[in-house]
Structure 1
Amino acid sequence: MHKLLGKLFLLGALVLAVLAAAFAWVALSPIGMQREPVEFTVAPGSSLRAVTREIAAAGADLDPWLLLLLGKLMRVEASIKAGSYQIGQGVTPLDLLRKLSRGDVTQAELAFIEGWTFRQMRERLDAHPDLRHETVGLSEPEIMRLLGAPNDAAEGVFFPDTYLFAKRSSDVDLLARAYRAMRRHLAREWPAREEGLPYRDAYQALIMASIVEKETGRDVDRAQIAGVFVNRLRQGMLLQTDPTVIYGLGERFDGNLRKRDLLADTPYNTYARAGLPPTPIAMPGLASLQAALHPSRTEALYFVARGDGSSHFSRTLDEHRQAVTRYQRGGKS
């Protein structure tokens, strides 16, 4: 009897060892692929069972029971992270489960560029293939309400940067990140501003930064240009900056700024109205924001583009007229 029990025990141990070895072999064998790569999305709150169905439907030859059993053995069946995933040849069930529990999601990216308008941002958002487009057809006020900022205008309040995100993320979430980023920069930079600047609040500094952004792409000129506009505000002069007029024209602008455009009285025509326009005219980058808050101490009241990306600055109107003749009208100095 004892010998029989011993034999049965050994037989049982052998069977278990064989099963364990077979399971380990399967868990460490590459998953078959009907296509490559296999891409799938795990919705928030999905069970491991639901995830295995999603993976199989995406084109992986995966036995659901294997992943479920492996998840239980590793105690990660409740730790699956939502997001978009991608697997290729050579990945094993063990690799896959580790990827799911770590949240090793595939990422896409989208760059918002300094100087873009909100309309340009939306065009890029709407065209991105890896986003869920939840703002299509919504007005700007409706979008700002979704972001929890119903009293804010959309123009200029998003920070230009390259944003990484999991595929199939919501475009609302991406806009919210850019909005929070600009608020963080403003909250940090505004208290450190130069004293005595002619801005009522941080929002007016943002408006100035957007004008500086559109007037130059050269870091060396930003603070000087901001200094010119600050001098004009202090002296009650018109800002007379073309980018604000162009922004006010919107889609009517055909590339040519005409005299009648400069004479038309609109909220964004700084040739006709004193002070800053009512909103930013584009997304300013950090360099332009810092220039608006730390303008150069200059006596210049005018500047003109040289044609090479730089600007020539003048203290008097006569000097400025000579510079315009030299750099924009092809005259001799």
Structure 2
Amino acid sequence: MLPLLADSVYCASLGFTPETILALFIPNTYEVYWNISAEKLMQRMQREYKNFWSDTRLAKAKAIGMTPVEVAILASIVEEETAATDEYPIVAGLYLNRLQRGIPLQADPTVKFAVGDFSLQRILFEHLEIDSPYNTYKHAGLPPGPLRIPTIRGLDAVLNHMKHNYLYMCAKEDFSGRHNFAVTLAEHNRNANRYRAELNRRKIR
């Protein structure tokens, strides 16, 4: 399977690239024979992908100016950003606000992906300088591909995002995995200062 995912010609035959191929997979429970070939499994995944992207979902994607692949890319960032699934639509709406205003996403999960370490507890200035197309602090818009295979809940959170005016978010200082959201930079800086103070108190460098 892995050689197929890295094969640009094969991926192109399905309408993807090696960077975007993860968007093909729609997480669900599938019944297949144990000896199914990689090619047959990929064909099955393509059918499931087409079934998932109904006219209704395609219309919702078009309404926010996105392709299904772009929805998957954003959903993967949303899911890596928050541990609270009820925050998915809020975070998705925030990122869409930034995209629509031409503001860089500045999404920490994309930096962790670029660094190759999702265990990072503190993003440092040196991490923000990583020269990678996945670093959304340095590059505007979406990264080249999903950071992971997004769940159906994540995909639908983007398609049914919450409409609000938030442009900023910062992890809560209680380390609950939830976020404080802000409309203004001044408000965000206050949230960030509280979080950084707690990082320092816990000696997380």
Return the alpha-carbon distance in structure 1 between the equivalents of residues 9 and 152 of structure 2: 22
Q: How far apart are 1:188 and its partner, in Å?
A: 4.2
Partner of 1:293: 159
- Check conservation: 1:156, 1:283, Cα contact below 8 A: yes
- Check conservation: 2:112, 2:118, Cα contact below 8 A: no
User: How does 1:22-41 map onto structure 2 within 5 Å?
Assistant: none
- Check conservation: 2:111, 2:134, Cα contact below 8 A: yes
Matched, 1:309 2:173: no
Which of 1, 4, 7 pairs up with 1:142?
A: 7
- Normalized against structure 1, the TM-score is what? 0.51
Return the alpha-carbon distance in structure 2 between the equivalents of residues 254 and 294 of structure 1: 27
Letter in structure 2 aligned against 1:311:
H
Partner of 1:261: 127
Letter in structure 2 aligned against 1:255:
S
Higher strand share: 1
More displaced 10-residue stretch of structure 1: 281-290 or 170-179 = 170-179
Which of 167, 180, 183 pairs up with 2:34?
A: 167
Partner of 2:99: 233
Identity %: 30
Deviations 1:27-84 (A, max 9, x none): xxxxxxxxxxxxxxxxxxxxxxxxxxxxxxxxxxxxxxxxxxxxxxxxxxxxxxxxxx
User: Displaced runs of 4+ in structure 1, greater than 4 A?
Assistant: none
Residue ranges of structure 2 left out of the alignment (5+ in a row): 200-205
Deviations 1:109-164 (A, max 9, x none): xxxxxxxxxxxxxxxxxxxxxxxxxx36x253438728942643323321122333
Identify the structure with bigger relative contact order (alpha carbons < 8 Å, sequence gap 6+): 2
Letter in structure 2 aligned against 1:169:
I
More displaced 10-residue stretch of structure 1: 256-265 or 274-283 = 256-265
RMSD between superposed Cα atoms in Å: 2.8
Return the alpha-carbon distance in structure 1 between the equivalents of residues 40 and 14 of structure 2: 14
Number of matched pairs: 194
SS in 1 for 2:30: strand
Structure having the higher Rg: 1
Cα distance 1:148–1:319, how it changes in 2: closer, same or farther (>3 A)?
same
- Normalized against structure 2, the TM-score is what? 0.79
Q: How far apart are 1:279 and its partner, in Å?
A: 1.5
Return the alpha-carbon distance in structure 1 between the equivalents of residues 9 and 47 of structure 2: 12
- Check conservation: 1:156, 1:281, Cα contact below 8 A: no
Residue ranges of structure 1 left out of the alignment (5+ in a row): 1-134
Which of 129, 132, 152 pairs up with 2:17?
A: 152
Return the alpha-carbon distance in structure 2 between the equivalents of residues 254 and 304 of structure 1: 17
Partner of 1:72: none
More displaced 10-residue stretch of structure 1: 272-281 or 159-168 = 159-168
